[in-house]
Amino acid sequence: MTACRVLVGMLIFFLVPIVSQAGFGVSPPSIKESSLVAGSHLTKTIYLVQSEPDKPLDMVVLVDSKDISEWISFEKGTAFTIPAGVQQYAFPITIQVPKDADLGVYQAYVRMNTAPKSADADGGSGVSITAGGLVSIDITVGDNVVKVFRIAGLKIRDIRSGQKPTVDVTIANTGNVPAGPRAASFELFNKFGNVRLGYAETEDIEEVPSFSEETVRLKFPIGFRLTPGDYWGYVKVYGETNKVMQELKTVFNVGEPIGFAALIAAVGGIGGSIALGVGAVVLVFALAIFFIRFRKR
């Protein structure tokens, strides 16, 4: 009887297929959002975690849902490879609620599995070996519009002579509709910060999608060409009520022009560029006349 039990145990050990690899999972395992509205855009990052990332891992993604499969997309597609050596792999999941979506509660499951491969490659029995993780999605689409955002960062960028003063504005939108500041202004001062040289403002600011943080780049035409050197810049960002949301005063550098801009600067700015253009046209016509006369000979 004992020998029979041992035999059965050995058969189970060798014949039962291995269906997963140890040390693989997803974090966090769920996406929950109860304040979406029609047209909302939501992106969350899930991390695929493996304890022994000693080789590349081919992954396949499947969406299981009866009504919102088309709302869900993946920046890296539904088939991708986790490189060897990567223990935590970032995988963004985006949910785009249609503008005509009905109010209600919706659910979906995102299954992330390793692409099946034969164990024969490792000298096994030929049984398919897979590992996987599951992310549950629970969202509520309502009619409560929430417009909330903040300025998470400001940076006055170094530029080249001939370029416009440039500011990077980082906007963190925690609301459920696209949002962003109403306007921004830029004051230019000399290198000592005590003489104002110019002023510009803009209302052309891109809105940031709901539940996301992005950096938008603003350019301020001040009406004249900046020569190389250090300057002070003073930028303000305004909300809907014209209240200053964030401001920054700091030094930035204007470097030497490069490429064609340097050539224009060398021959006199805009007048030089016109002269270069006229000269190029004259040269083309001269070469054309020479070529025609040469062929007649």
Final residue of a domain: which of 99, 115, 142? 142
Longest Cα separation, the chain: 111
Q: State the Rg of the chain over Cα.
A: 31
**If pLDDT is split at 50, 70 and 90, which confidence band does 53 have?**
confident
**If pLDDT is split at 50, 70 and 90, which confidence band does 295 have?**
low
Number of domains in the chain: 2
Confidence (pTM): 0.66
Considering the domain architecture, whether residues 112 and 228 belong to the same structural domain is answered as no
Alpha-carbon distance 210 to 214, whole Å? Answer: 10
Alpha-carbon distance 229 to 190, whole Å? Answer: 9
Alpha-carbon distance 198 to 222, whole Å? Answer: 6
Beta bridge partners of 217: 168
Greater model confidence, 57 or 288: 57
Considering the domain architecture, whether residues 48 and 118 belong to the same structural domain is answered as yes
Q: How many CB atoms lie within 10 A of CB 29?
A: 11
156 pLDDT higher than 80:
yes
**If pLDDT is split at 50, 70 and 90, which confidence band does 4 have?**
very low
Final residue of a domain: which of 142, 162, 184? 142
264 pLDDT higher than 50:
yes
Percent of the residues in the chain that have a pLDDT greater than 90, as a whole number? 64
Considering the domain architecture, whether residues 134 and 162 belong to the same structural domain is answered as no
Considering the domain architecture, whether residues 87 and 179 belong to the same structural domain is answered as no
Structure tokens at 43: 């992106």
In a domain, 75, yes or no: yes
What is the predicted pLDDT for the residue at 16?
A: 35
Q: What is the mean pLDDT of residues 145-173?
A: 96
Considering the domain architecture, whether residues 118 and 227 belong to the same structural domain is answered as no
In a domain, 222, yes or no: yes
17 pLDDT higher than 60:
no
In a domain, 174, yes or no: yes
Considering the domain architecture, whether residues 156 and 238 belong to the same structural domain is answered as yes
The answer to whether 110 and 62 have CB atoms below 8 angstroms apart is yes
Token pair 């047209």 is at which residue? Answer: 39
The CATH number linked to 40 is 2.60.40.10
In a domain, 267, yes or no: no
- What domain range is 162 assigned to? 149-255
